[in-house]
Structure 1
Amino acid sequence: MRVLHVITGLGVGGAELQLRSVLQHTRHDAEVVTLYNPGEVAEMLSRDGVRVRDLGMTGNTEIAAVLRLWKLIRQGRYDVVHTHLYRACVYGRVAARLAGTPAVVTTEHSIGRTHLERRRMTRGVQALYLGTDLCSDATIAVSDTVADRLVGWGVRRDKITVIPNGVDFDRVAFDEADRARIRAEFGIAREVRVVGVLGRLDPNKRFDLVIAAMAPMLDATTGLLIVGEGPDRERLEGVAREHGVADRVLFTGERHDVAAMLSALDLFVASSAQETFGLSVLEALSNGIRALYTTCPAMAGIETDRARAVPGDVAGMRREIASELARMGSPQPGMSTGLPRETVPAIRERYGIDAVTGRIDDLYDGLLDRRAQRSPRSEPLVADAVASAEPAGGDR
């Protein structure tokens, strides 16, 4: 089976890295088209042997891009077109349906209460999403929370299948050598207790809340590691200075060695205001460290004492972090910090990347089987004359 994944961009992000994990485990022949920004994840995919093409969009309302994408899909004669993220859904679903693709699938990664991928959910945004949803055969929601929000938006419940994000446990496994290497890189002594956050530096992540909560606890024995990059970095650095802890809050910038960064930590904190899944919490737990989170739909139904929900305010978070630090005991010079590493079996059972990818592949198969029972493969719906449209963009 030939599958084309269409995604808005391929910079480092949750949806982009999840797509890479899926493609590393799919049983089908897959290619990727990015509307623009063929960033670091495009390079990773190319090294994995996946063909990646850049559509070369330069604006949000580039109608000609639909024709370029239509031509690419039509020439590729894909069995499935699978779109990810809002703009790719708008362009990709229309182009795939016009090209006569047998099955069109959408994955909705990030629909919040008030925003869709950091885009405020205006009536226009909603209308465009729902209008192009008519071109999609099925929508994958990464959690029950996302499914309920989609239904609230107007997507038919019978089109939605809940398939969670998957965790590649090998990619996030604890490694003692990596722990020592990362701590040496940032000048962190063995006895220092390190609390960490990980993700795009975006206001929704509320890393400023963690800085403020931890400020009274940050000293020679306790540090805070902020792993990631984004538009909120300058403001967050200012928050650390305002609290007088700039020398105790380490900003690592963008990192691709997730397992190593998690291995360097003793406690993980996820402080998002809104979250549709919470993959970083699962990755931290899979690395063996304890985790605190303000919201994490992925933890629904998972019973463990390794993670718990905490208040989304400074006082409440400070109390809970202090409790976790007290568990670790007083740091001893030259002695490694933290509690023993333990994983959560229920997470491995529910969120293993092989099982998750298998469910996605099975969805493709089911859609094509139902299509075959109804009618033979339909012909493209756009006149052949359009085939002379401009080229689809370059490979990576």
Structure 2
Amino acid sequence: MKIVYFIDHLRPDGTQFVLHQLVQGLNVRGHAQTVICLNDSWDELFKQKLVDGGAQVRIVGKLALASGYGWWTTLAFLRQERFDVAVTLLFASDVVGRTLAHAARIPWIVTSIQTRDEFYASWQRWLVRRTMHWADSVILNSIHVRDFAISEEGAPADRIVVIPNGISVEKYISTVPKLTLRAQLNLPTDCILLGSIGRLVPQKGFDILLQALAQLRRRDLFLCIAGVGREEQNLRAQARELGLQARVVFMGYRRDVPALMHCLDLYVHASRFEGMPIVILEAMASGCPIVATAVDGTRELIQDARDGWLVPPEDPLALANAIQSALDDPNEARRRSAAALQRVSDYFDTNKVLDAWERVFQGRVIEFHNSPSSV
């Protein structure tokens, strides 16, 4: 089968993680794959990972699209290659990719909605809805995104398939000593270390996390934040205003997530909304205790009081209380993190996820059951 993926950019974010997982896994199963990046924005190492995984990578670029040249050359390429399946990921790719795939008469068009994006402008929502009817299947990574996909993005209810994100647990086994990150960051060896990873954008709720940290008032408690984004300067200013500048470390983008997770005492995820967050899967696979907001796909991953601690979004006090509860009872934290590791191993294995995607590509649209209980 020949598969072409459209994606907005190739910076290594969560959706790109899913793309790489598909490319790598489906290459082993004998599928020929091409990735078309619409924006001329990419991480060279990530691009090379796609190539090493077996994909051809083509960069179109903003100027080429704006001039019309990129549309025509990409359309000609699609018609020449005669792909069996087109997959669109993220806003621009949904609009441009569905349009081009339809014009090229690709037999099966699949759109993947990876998050409940509440920040789309009205014109973006209009374009997404206007092109949605060309999608033969709409893959959601969380059942909690379904109503949003239907009402806001115009997804036909009878074409929706829920396939959760998956992870290879064996890749998160680490022998890195727990004090390694503290030494790298020049932190006290006996400090309690919280961590949070993600794009520094309003969706991820880092401002709420800083407010929660300020309420804990513990001098032995430090927070490391890994990620980049447009909110970084605002978050640094907030940390200073809250008197936290000595206890919050902005680490920038990190590629060593498994090692980071093994150095933390607690992983905290304060998102306002999500799809199914890859980083929660990574924390579960690493055996790191988790406190998170009870939003969207996070609720399918973490069962409160069993696999971690869940709190309402936008509630710094509840978040602070949950963090304190996790730190006050290390035995309970270990019990819940062990349960989370078992859960991710049992229900979110990469091979099961790849099986489900393959069935959709073959036109056999089925529901994916990732758990014995419906969340």
Which TM-score tier does this pair reach, normalised by the shorter chain? 0.7 to 0.9
* Residue 44 of structure 2 corresponds to residue 34 of structure 1: no
Contact conserved, 2:14 with 2:277, CA < 8 A, in 1? no
CA–CA distance in structure 1, aligned partners of residues 14 and 309 of structure 2:
22
| TM-score, scaled to structure 1 | 0.83
* Residue 315 of structure 2 corresponds to residue 342 of structure 1: no
Aligned residues: 353
Deviation at 1:279, TM superposition (A): 2.6
CA–CA distance in structure 2, aligned partners of residues 71 and 249 of structure 1:
51
Q: Greater CA deviation, 344-353 or 241-250?
A: 344-353
* Residue 99 of structure 2 corresponds to residue 71 of structure 1: no
Q: Which residue of 1 aligns with 2:350?
A: 353
Structure 2 counterpart of 1:160, one-letter code: I
CA 1:306–1:367 in structure 2 vs 1: closer, same or farther (change >3 Å)? closer
Q: Which residue of 2 aligns with 1:371?
A: none
**Equivalent residues in 2 for 1:289-300 (5 A)?**
289-298=288-297, 299-300=299-300
Contact conserved, 2:206 with 2:235, CA < 8 A, in 1? yes
Deviation at 1:134, TM superposition (A): 2.2
CA–CA distance in structure 1, aligned partners of residues 355 and 187 of structure 2:
41
CA–CA distance in structure 2, aligned partners of residues 53 and 105 of structure 1:
19
Deviations 1:171-190 (A, max 9, x none): 3x242425343332112344
Contact conserved, 1:286 with 1:343, CA < 8 A, in 2? no
Q: Which residue of 1 aligns with 2:316?
A: 314
* Residue 359 of structure 2 corresponds to residue 362 of structure 1: yes
| TM-score, scaled to structure 2 | 0.87
CA–CA distance in structure 2, aligned partners of residues 56 and 245 of structure 1:
41
* Residue 101 of structure 2 corresponds to residue 101 of structure 1: no
More helix per residue: 2
* Paired residue secondary structure (2:138): strand
CA–CA distance in structure 2, aligned partners of residues 163 and 125 of structure 1:
25
CA–CA distance in structure 2, aligned partners of residues 170 and 218 of structure 1:
37
* Paired residue secondary structure (1:6): strand
Deviations 1:274-295 (A, max 9, x none): 1222332222122111111113
CA 1:278–1:38 in structure 2 vs 1: closer, same or farther (change >3 Å)? closer
CA 1:342–1:62 in structure 2 vs 1: closer, same or farther (change >3 Å)? farther
Gaps of 5+ in 2: 366-375
Contact conserved, 2:91 with 2:128, CA < 8 A, in 1? yes
Deviations 1:44-76 (A, max 9, x none): 212434221101223885544322221121121
CA–CA distance in structure 1, aligned partners of residues 181 and 11 of structure 2:
23
Deviations 1:77-97 (A, max 9, x none): 111111111111111111111
Gaps of 5+ in 1: 330-337, 369-396
Identity of aligned residues (%): 27
* Paired residue secondary structure (1:33): strand
**Equivalent residues in 2 for 1:160-179 (5 A)?**
160-171=160-171, 173-177=172-176, 179=178
